[in-house]
Structure formats: structure tokens, C-alpha cells
Structure 1
Amino acid sequence: MGFFDKIKNAFKADKKAEQEQEELKEEVQAEPEQPESVETVPTADGHTENTADHQLSEPDESVAQPISEEPAPFTEPVAEVEEKEEIQVQKKYEKGLEKTRKTFSQRFNELMANFRSVDEDFFEELEETLIGADVGFETAIKITEELRQEVKLRNAKKTAEVQNTIIEKMVNLYEAEGVDENNALNIQAGGLTVILFVGVNGVGKTTSIGKLAHEFKEDGKKVLLAAADTFRAGAIDQLVVWGERAGVEVVRGNAGGDPAAVVFDAVARAKAENADILLVDTAGRLQNKVNLMNELEKIKRVIQREIPNAPHEVLLVVDATTGQNAMAQAKQFKETTDVTGLVLTKLDGTAKGGIVLAIRNELHLPVKLVGLGEGINDLEPFDANDFALGLFKGLLKEE
């Protein structure tokens, strides 16, 4: 079953649940409240008394009462626990993508309201609408071209039908671009995993490292952090604060010192202490790409002297609220270093979640992690299915 079929089924299930809730509400409001019937029984002196009095009376102590055994502690089946966790993550995605959904809906509603027929003017306006929704120029052109053909084949005329066809094209393109995409982190089994974080200042790089460290620690892994962003004022202290929150140690040097020297010490300590994960924070100065590239290459060489196949991930952190600026940053970093995946932060605080489509279609870089809230537990592994449901389900119309 493809993504669009899953989204349609989820959309129908939501509509059915809403209808059942409405029907139940109407039944409750319509049903008159019945007084509780009380049964009476005659007593020896001719009076009556409530049977409820008998039901509430103390049990006869002369009658032996069965000895109740202590019930066994309830253990929830693993499958049910996993299902609940999956539902919670899906709700996080739906809530996190709420602003993007509303923006998409508003743009589509305005588009549909302005056109009575699907003509060339409509397709031109659709391109502008999609570009404005941050899905990217190439993606907007591709979707519009495919829609031209599809509308002719289906002879789609109704507003809801046309909008659903647009959504279907977006979903199918989103799914097709991610067919060979590996969104899982490359964690080494039984050895040290080194993850390098890159990105410009202010995108949430240090925060993402702290949140990820917390998750690994909760999973029972031994985690170390390396404060290799030695040039930005306060960067080292900020990582130390996050290390304290996550309960993990931070390897640090002096402000303004050599980042590669910090990484060398961190790798040595991680190996000596049999750590499972080493997360490395780096400086992000795009204004001097040559120096940045040289610095990152030096850090890599230091790591590879001790661990030849490391770093196992080079994660580029970008701020989703910046939309197309995030795309520009991603392109520049992709040119200067071997980025293996993206961390998309502040997705819950933006209406520009469509940037994920642009990243998939134009950069062909997998999104590995997404920030869906400000809490320490709100950095989630990217799930293409949950993202598609969270974004597109709310855009479908009843035909």
C-alpha cells in the first residue's frame, strides 16, 4: 500500500470517528434522564425498606469469606506498548506539522476560490502557490506538469477532486524520491559510533546534540560529547549545560583553542572508557568556506587515525523556520563536506515544513532527525510515513 492510500484510509477513519462521536453526542443529548428505580420489600412489622439498604449492609461475619489472593502485577504486552508509542509519535508529527498544514490549506483554499476552471492561468498560479509553500522551484514545476496530464486523464472538474489530485501528486513525488533513502542513524554494533554535527550558528545544533545524547543515555548507552566549537562565545558552556541535563560528560578545551585537539582528546577518552557514542559539536562559519572545509577535514583526519571508518555520520543541522535559506545552507555544506543526512530543527514552530519535499527532490539528502518541540524528548527519528500522514492527511477534501 502506497503513502497516498494510507493517507486516504487515515482520512476516512478520522471522518468516520468524527461522525460516530457526533452521533453519540446527539443520542446522549436526546435521551431523557431516567430516575433510578428502587425496589422495596415488606418487613415483619408491615413497613417497607429499600433493597439497596440490604445491598450496602455489612457482610455476615459468621459466614466464612473466601480468602482473596494478591493479584499478579499487570504487565502490558510488548506489542501494545510499541503500538502506544507509535501512536504518540504520530500525534507529535501531527501537532508539529500543524502550522505547515494550515498554511498549505489556506493557500490551496485561496487558489481554488479564485478559479472556476482548471486552465493555464490556474496552473501558473499553482506553481506560485507551491513555491510559496517552500516545496522548492523544481518540485513545484514537476508537480504542476504532472497535474496537467492527470487532470486531462481524469477530467477532474470539482474543486475537491482537483485539490486531492494535487495532494496525491505531492505525496507520490515525496514517496518516489525517498525509495532508496536510509533515514536510520548509522550506529555501530559493539563499537564506538562517532557522529559529527555541522551547521551555521543559531540553527539548534548544540540543542539537538543534547537531546540526542539524552535519548542514547535513556537507551542505556555510554555517551560522550566533544565541544569542538571553540570559536563561538558561549558555545562550550552551552554544550556543558546540555551535557548536565542529559547526564553525560563533555570533553572540552579552552575557548579559541584548536577544535581538532579537542576531538583528539574526546576520541581517546571514548576509547579508554568503552563509550558507545561520541557526539561532536563543530563551528559553523559559512562566511569563510575554505577555512571551514579545512577545519572539518582536519577533524576527520584526527578521528580516522584512531577509527578508520569514522565519522559514521556527518549530520547537517538546519532550521526549518528559514525555509529556502535552509536549502541554500544545505547546498553550501554539501559542497564543502560529506554530509550523510540532515537534522531539521524547529519543525513545530514553522509553516515551512514543505521544505522536506524540496530537500528530497533537489538535494537527495535523507532527513535523519526532526525537532517536533522544545522538550528534551522532542527530537524524533524522521519517519517518512508519519511525516506524510501528519502533513497531507489534513489537506484532503471530501469528494
Structure 2
Amino acid sequence: MNQKLKALLDAFPVPHDIADECQKLNTAQQRALANFLHYEIVGGDGFLLRDKSEMDFYQFNHGLNELVARILALRYPMPELPELSPIFGELGTLAEAVKTLRTHGYLVADRKLPVSTLAAVRDEIGKFSFYEKRPGATLRSGEELYALGASGERLESGTFWLRDLDQATHSELLGSLAFDPYILAMVTQYFGCTPVHVQTNTWLSFAGKGDKSQLSSSAQLYHQDKEFTKFLKVFIYLTDVGADNGPHCYVDGSHIDELFTRGVPFSTRLTDDEVLKYFDANRLKSVTGPAGTIIFGDTSAVHKGLPVTGGYRCILQFEYAASLYMSPIEPFPDLPVARLEAIRQRDISTRLVQNYDSAARDRYRGFANTSKSASIMDRVRSRIQQQIVMPWKLRRLKRVA
């Protein structure tokens, strides 16, 4: 076994059965796991490690992610959550739902956001500001965009993105959803350890011109996320989503036989025809549903949002990770003391709010500001790395089942 890994496993510490599984990992996976455990034991800013160690993510396949979650559970076990949600009512048993999620990578929940909560959430988002990813675009409020959606007007860019994620993160209403016992119970049982809340986001999509560059920037081509080692997203439809309204699509079970194990670099955008080179057509699924539909998705699975061809779509998204190792996401400002105390009173580990750290946020921004802005040559080098060098490196990686 890698000697650094052995020392870190002893320091964590882990039981013999987990140590034996670590012993069976290949050399590259042992090195990647050692880097991960060093971060978890020593601490520091996970975002500072991304540029240095990002290739390690190619070692974190489904099997290693599951092993990592078992190791984390030794220090951050699943919290005992209330059996009653103030929003969704009795939790009941979630075992079958979690089993489905683990098997398929996605689950359309058997409960929906109540009508009153849905209306309140839409009102809250109506106050937020949104932008388009095109030069000269002006900010628009959520209320303005609701009116545009009702008018059926076709727009140049198609998608409007939340300008200030902190506004959503620190909204008491959206926070009550992000930390709701039902949502947390599903995420926690999927991980097997205490999660870290890493994002609250929302966006609106309209019928646009639909060329490949626009579809790519709007996440409307198939792709695989790899933002953390193990992570889960919760999507909530805030409008009715039929076949014309841009339903969320995914490849069933592709969080297990991941796209990168087939030689495709992370975040590569693929058309439908390209995806069918790697997966059978019967594995391609889409999720339609009324406003209030809740989707749990491990987006290490291949997924996309279909382009909107009529009406519009508004989505609320929460994201959770098992660890902030190599996090690409800017930390949030500190939680207000009263909200932090309310979480502590529920006997939930503050691991859940580890990403709420104003000091780390300042360090992140300092790090980002000192990074050299991308020149034309930088972009050319990045394209060569993504389309030529990375696929070659992936072919050399030993594929692990």
C-alpha cells in the first residue's frame, strides 16, 4: 500500500475492513485517496487544490466514491433528523426511495412542494435579479421574466442566470427548504454521512435561437459534472414542465458506469447522437411534471436540460457534497448567528454549513483575483488540453470497474 495512504488511514483511523479495501485499490487511486484524506485530516481551503490535483478526479469512480463516503461516515455519521417536516409532513421510511436513487442515479420524489410553499418561493425569486450570458444584456427581475414567460416571447439567449447566489443562499425561505428534514434525510441517506450544503441556485429558460454554443452555455447538451468527489443535486420545478418546456434529461445509471471511464473528459458537451455512441437509447430518460415536482439527481450521471420550445421553465436547485475537497464553488458568507444556532439545536453537525465561511470567501476571492485572466492563447491551450491531451491521458488510465 502507498505509505502516505497507510499513515493517513492510521491517523483517521479506519477499521480493518476499510483498510483492506484501500489495499486493493490501484496505485493511482491510492495516491488520489491519500491526497483526499490529507485534506480531510489537515484541513485548509479545498478550492486551492483544484488546479493542482484535478486529474485525481479521474480516479474517483463510483466505487471509490462509495468507499470515501464510508470513511467520512466514521467522523461525520448520518445525523438523526426529525421524523416530521414542517413542509412535507411525515417522512416515513425512505429506504426504497434511496435504493432507487442509488440504482438509477435519479429519483422523481413521490411528494411535491406544497402549493402554498411553491407560491411563496416564486414570490421570493421574483425579487431576485437575473442576467444573460451575452454582451450588453441588462439585468431583469424574476417578476419581469415571469411576465415574459407568460407572453410567449422568444428571447435571444434563452436562459437567465441568478446574478447573486448569496441572495438565494441567505433567503430564510429557501434556507428552510435547503435544510428541510425531508430533503436532508434523502441526501444524507444517499451519502451515508453528513452532507455539506454547497449551493442554492435558480434560473429561468425560454425558447431561444438554439445553436450549439448557446445550448452548451445553458447546459442543454449532454454532459457529466464532476464538481466534488460525491455530490447530489435537488431540482424543483417551479413551473409546469411538459415536453415543450425543457424537461431535465439523464442517462439512467450512468453515475455508475460513468462517461469518463469511456474516455470522454469531464464537462465535454455531447449531442444526442454522440451520447448514443456510449449508451443504449433505452437508458435516455426525461422528467416532465407539474410545478412542485422534486428530482434528486447525482449529476455525475450524464444529463442535460432539453431546450425550451414553448413557454418557459423555472428551476430551483440545491446542491450538497460529501466533502469540500477541490471545491469549485465560492464559499458563502457566514450564516446569521440565529440560523446557525437553530441548526445546532437540531443536533445537526456544523459540517452541514462548513461552506458558510466569510474568511474562506475572502481567501477565495483573493485567489481568483490573482489568477491570470484568460488570453486567446490561454483559451487555445485549454481547448487542446480538453479535446486532445485529456482524452489521451484517459486512455492511459487503468479503467476500474
TM-score of the pair, normalised by structure 2:
0.22
TM-score of the pair, normalised by structure 1:
0.22
Question: When you count helix as a share of all residues, which structure comes out higher?
Answer: 1
Structure (1 or 2) with the larger CA radius of gyration: 1
